[in-house]
Amino acid sequence: MRKSLTALGLVAASGVLLSGCSAPSGGGSDTILIAQVGDYSGDWSFYDLPFRDGMQIAIDEVNAAGGIDGVELEFMTVDGRGDQAESVRGVEEALDAGAVYISGTTASGAWQAQAAVACQEGVPITTGDGSSPTLVLDAGDCAYHVLMLDTVQGAVGAEYALEQGYSNAYVLLSSDDAYTAGLGSYFSAAFENGGGKVAAEAEFRIGASDFNVQITDIAALNPAPDVIYLSMFTPDTPQFLRQLRASGIETPVVSGDGSVDSSVLEAGAAAEGLVTTFHAWPTDGNAVEEFLTTNFPDADAASAPQHIVAAAGYDEVMLMVQAIKAAGEATPAAIIEQLAGLTYEGVTGTLTIDPGTRQANKTVTLIGVTDGEYVYIDSTVPSFVPTVG
């Protein structure tokens, strides 16, 4: 049975030295505390809950195998509710408890506040399931990004569109969040770099229930766009698709990972033909398929998206474990040092963390909706990646 740090009376902010440590067996034994301070009850819970569950799967797996050199992992979770003040308090709680590694919330503004606190204490923090490339750049040397970047998935979406012969795009984005603002602009930059034209970049409000203004704008364009790019996430995506198709517009739609969810499939015919970028997808007996079979044997096309987000959370823990083993100690400084330049091969693909940007270089998967299900299209890296403005 695992012991909590509170039960053991340990507050080891400096971490755990692995050399010579024995497996936990009761009072006086060490554990390695990692934390996720996510949004479990707010707008971003769709991402942070399965990401948390995947982290737990990895932690249970590591501990079942004897921990790291006999030292078990301990997992602390705090609900920041997507609120900046709550999210910061959660990080402070984790630091006070002795966490040596923190995975943050998907909510961009709240994450930046979290990172400021973690970096002040020299404890590594990642963007969790957040994919905006702007997040870690000014956060400090403790901040890391271990997922695919929005610059890359925007470029993959653009190059896919160009390969289909699309040349005139309408891009829908929102300045309400770094993800919805950045993803669309990165698509536009890559699309125009490849010779395409962006007819318009139009704003929407996150959580809007009526997209009539944007759809009327699309209908009025002459020439009509031959592709629409949505810098959206659910529940906005299925709502927009229903209204778009109800208006009679049949223009193909491309989007990002925020548009991969069972609620999109529930849009029925309105979702047919949608193409999105995503972390990974099960195909041909790959590692993703094995992960789903082992941990989510009842997974189907509707539930698979969230389980793959869980796989991304699993990978985050396992790359941290790799860093700790390489360092020989579970101290924040040692983990930070090992993350820089780390190459990791996991369930959702292979990544290398650039020591200069502290961001992961990783492939992106393309999937599409066909006959009411997401289907695998390709895994790729773009030939051109736009720079962050």
pLDDT score at 137: 87
What is the edge-to-edge ordering of all strands in the sheet holding 359-362? Answer: 343-346, 349-354, 359-362
Structure tokens that stand for 66 in this block: 């004897």
pLDDT, tens digit (0-9, with 9 covering 90-100), for 197-232: 999 999 999 998 899 999 999 999 999 999 999 999
Instruction: Compute the mean pLDDT over every residue in the chain, rounded to the nearest whole number.
Output: 91
Separation between Cα atoms, residue 198 and residue 386, nearest integer Å: 15
Q: Which two tokens stand for residue 321?
A: 């474990």
User: Is the separation of the CB atoms in 149 and 67 below 8 Å?
Assistant: no
| b/e burial code for range 291-326 (CB count within 10 A of at least 16 → b) | bbeebbeebeebebbbbbbbbbbbbbbbbbbbbbee
Q: Domains, the chain, ranges and CATH?
A: 5-148+287-357 (3.40.50.2300), 150-278+366-380 (3.40.50.2300)
The torsion of the CA quartet 343, 344, 345, 347, rounded to 10 degrees, works out to -150
Provide the pLDDT confidence category of residue 389 given band limits of 50, 70 and 90.
low
- pTM for this entry: 0.87
pLDDT, tens digit, 9 for 90 and up, residues 101-158 = 999 998 888 999 999 999 999 999 999 988 889 899 889 899 999 999 999 999 999 9
Q: Is 359 within 8 Å of 148 (Cβ atoms)?
A: no
What average pLDDT does this structure show over 310-339?
97
Q: How many CA atoms lie within 13 A of 218 on its CB side?
A: 30
pLDDT-based confidence at residue 61 (cuts at 50, 70, 90): very high
Q: What are the pLDDT digits (tens) for 243-284?
A: 999 999 999 999 999 999 999 999 999 999 999 999 999 998
Which of 307, 304, 319 minimizes the C-alpha distance to 362? 319
